[in-house]
Structure 1
Amino acid sequence: MSNFVQNIVVLAVCWLLVTAAGVYVTFFEQPEELDRLEKAEKVTRLKEAELTTLLAEEASAAQQAEQILRRWEARYKIIPKELEDEEVVAYLNHLSRTGFKNFDITFGGIRRTRDFSAYAYQISGRGFFDALYRVVWELENNRYFFRVRDLRLEHIDLVSRDRESQREALHVMVSFTMGVEAYFGGAEGLSAESVLAGLPEEAGHVEGGLATVLPPVPAEVLPAREPAKNPFFPAIMSTIPPNTDNLVDVEKARLVSIVAGKAIFLWEDEYHQLDIGDPVYLGKIILVDPTEDRVVARLNKGGIIDEVELELQTGERYRQALGPVNLSPAEQH
């Protein structure tokens, strides 16, 4: 065999070996390695996503913790170590001194826990809604820790009679019941006093007889002191309020004259001089027209707005109402 043939055989054998090795690597080893690498890549991506989620959760938890800590450090409620029942009752009486027909306080006992103690009271009564709103506002926003529970309201109309004038007055009020808890004996660090223990004494003030050593809370961070609307005052009343101030009732009074732009009424045997804007029973005067001899009053009849026009029964209008009486010279004979 010549060298040429031997070389060809050697080259063929080498080519077969290389081809076989390539086929083995391509179809047997590489798929397994590729599958292993793909799985490793998925695991890496999952771990990266999990790490990203954990970092986001950590940031969110840190933000919530910071907010909670700020709120805790900014707390303004005081839970005193000691608080007498007489002090609480005196404070409730102080709040209810005006605007109530009755304000009855019943002591319900003391509730004691590991972290605090609380006096319980049951309160019932009748009063104006604005006055009750003021009491609840003070209890909820006072430095001392009070809590209002189970507040229930019912609308009532009370009619009172003045002893001297014997006139009746209608009062739109509410009857109410509620529970009030006054907390004391708080655990260490629970009260705002522990945060501002180093506050100078001159910063102290008194809230309804309960003294504190803390500055007042800024009004802008508290709810409105006055209710935006009285939900118990009806838009249209079934009963028109009585004339307690004895104002001129233009629907019953008699318009007798208009002098210098003012209307003269005869009401209950007395003369009353009224100008534009002056109050009358259920409303006010909105127009005094001396040229047309008329007066207009706008009245609120229990939520129904009405305008009453009165005409002076003299002059041209009066003569027109009676009819023309023009006699000719021939008819006068």
Structure 2
Amino acid sequence: MSYQTRNWIVLTAILAIIWLVGGYQVFFAYPQKNRALQKDIGQFDKRIQAMDGIEGEFIGLQGMVEEQAARLKTVKKDFSTRIAAVDLYEYLTDIVRRAGDIEVNLKYLGEEQLDKYGYSRFRIEGEGTFARVNNMVRMLEKGPLVNRIRKLSIRSLEERDPDSKDNRVQIPFNMELWTYFSNFDSLPTQPVNLKDVELAGANSPFNPLVRRNLPPNTQNLLEVERANLQAIV
């Protein structure tokens, strides 16, 4: 084989390899990469479109956070280590004594323990005038203990007072109260009590425009508005 023929064969082989590699890159590798990039670009476009208006939402949320932070700076609460049912009953008795004459039944529902804090769950049932129930709820929320009214159900009941013979509207209520406690021993004690809670007057939305002429329940008959239906299946 001559030197010229051998060089021609080597050159042809090199050109063939270059053509194969280039063809693979042009017809297979680059199109695949292009499709993948186009797919990523499409996903980014969707994300950008989904973020339209998020700046305004962020500004609104930032304002809410700043407002809540300023509000929490003025709140004085005591994080107790544990809240027993007896202690809460005494606390509730003080609230009722200040709010007025309210019938109250307290039931302990259990305790939830989380990482650094927990809460005790209580069921509170009773009835009273709207002003007194409103004062009780206000003191539960604004008092020194960290309480959260998880559920609250109220309704109106019109009756005649057996003593004064006047018609009155009572408010039976049922609520689930969460009283929080913490496991931090270094929290400072806040010098607050129930006397620091300012009571605000409120008009009852349950006052009827026309009252019914109801006779007083002197025979302790069953009253549907006060009754609770329970069944065991």
TM-score in terms of structure 1 length: 0.40
- For structure 1, the 5+ residue unaligned runs are 1-55, 209-215, 243-333
Aligned: 1:114 with 2:118 = no
Pair 1:207 & 2:207 matched: no
Contact 2:139–2:194 (8 Å) recurs in 1: no
Aligned counterparts, 1:256-295, within 5 A: none
Distance 2:208 2:169 in 1: 9
Residues in 1 aligned to 2:200 and 2:156: alpha-carbon distance in whole angstroms? 22
How well do the aligned residues superpose, as a CA RMSD in angstroms? 3.6
Q: Normalized per residue, which structure has more helix?
A: 2
Judged with a 3 Å threshold, the aligned counterparts in structure 2 of structure 1 residues 73 and 175 are, in CA distance, closer, same or farther, namely closer
Q: 1:180 to 1:94 in 2, by over 3 A?
A: same
Residue 94 (structure 1) aligns with: 94
Q: CA deviation at 1:130?
A: 0.9
Q: Name the SS for the 1:96 alignment partner.
A: helix
Corresponding residue SS for 1:168: coil
Which one of 207, 212, 218 corresponds to residue 238 of structure 1? 212
2:179 aligned with 1:182:
yes
- TM-score, normalized by length of structure 2? 0.55
Q: Relative to 1, partners in 2 of residues 1:170 and 1:187: Cα closer, same or farther, differing over 3 Å?
A: same
Distance in 2 (CA, whole Å) between partners of 1:136 and 1:156 is 19
Contact 2:154 2:171 in 1 (8 A): yes
Say if 1:169 and 1:241, in contact at 8 Å, map to a contact too.
no
Query: What is the CA–CA distance in structure 1 between the aligned matches of 2:212 and 2:144, rounded to whole Å?
Result: 42
1:199-227 CA deviation, whole Å, 9 max, x = no partner? Answer: 8xxxx35326xxxxxxx57x6xxxx7211
Q: Is the 8 A contact 1:77 1:143 kept in 2?
A: yes
Pair 1:153–1:206, CA change in 2 (3 A): closer
Point out where structure 2 has 5 or more consecutive residues left out of the alignment.
1-54, 217-233
Give the Cα–Cα distance (whole angstroms) in 1 for the partners of residues 118 and 185 of structure 2.
13
Secondary structure at the aligned position of 2:204 is classed as: coil
**Partner residue of 2:52?**
none
Moved segments of 4+, more than 6 Å? none
Aligned residues: 159
Q: Deviations over 1:100-121 (max 9, x none)?
A: 2x21111111111113121211
The letter of the residue matching 2:101 is: G
Whole-angstrom CA distance in 2 between matches of 1:180 and 1:67: 25
Higher relative contact order by CA 8 Å / sep ≥ 6: 1 or 2? 2
Matching of residue 225 in structure 1 with residue 200 in structure 2: yes
- The whole-number CA distance in structure 1 between the counterparts of 2:138 and 2:69 is 26
Distance 1:168 1:235 in 2: 19
Greater fraction strand: 1
